[in-house]
Amino acid sequence: MIQKRMFINVFILVFSIFILSIEKIKLAWEITTLHNNYANLRVENENLKDLNLKLITQFHIENSPANIEKIAKESLGMEKKKPIRILINE
């Protein structure tokens, strides 16, 4: 009777250790996956920051007064008016 009970207790303990070992392996795999995802997201974030900087720079270049004036002269045939000269007679 004591032998049987001892055997059952040992079996339960071994089975518990086996289940806990499987859980540990699953958690370690999940942590590794999360670390890899985080590293990929950091790289993606840096790439998006670079792209955003390029787009902001391009926006400011294309909307600069000099570029607008150039497009107005070339595409639309507009010319800059010369200032009117005002003479004051005293």
The Cα–Cα gap between 85 and 82 comes to 9
* C-beta separation of 78 from 72 below 8 A: yes
What is the token pair recorded at 33?
């996956």
* C-beta separation of 61 from 67 below 8 A: yes
pLDDT digits (tens, 9 = 90+) for 19-28: 999 999 999 9
Task: Please report, for the chain, the start and end positions of each structural domain, with discontinuous segments joined by +.
Answer: 2-62
In the chain, alpha helices (H): 2-62, 65-74
Average model confidence (pLDDT) across the chain: 91
Indicate the pLDDT class of residue 69, thresholds 50, 70 and 90. Answer: confident
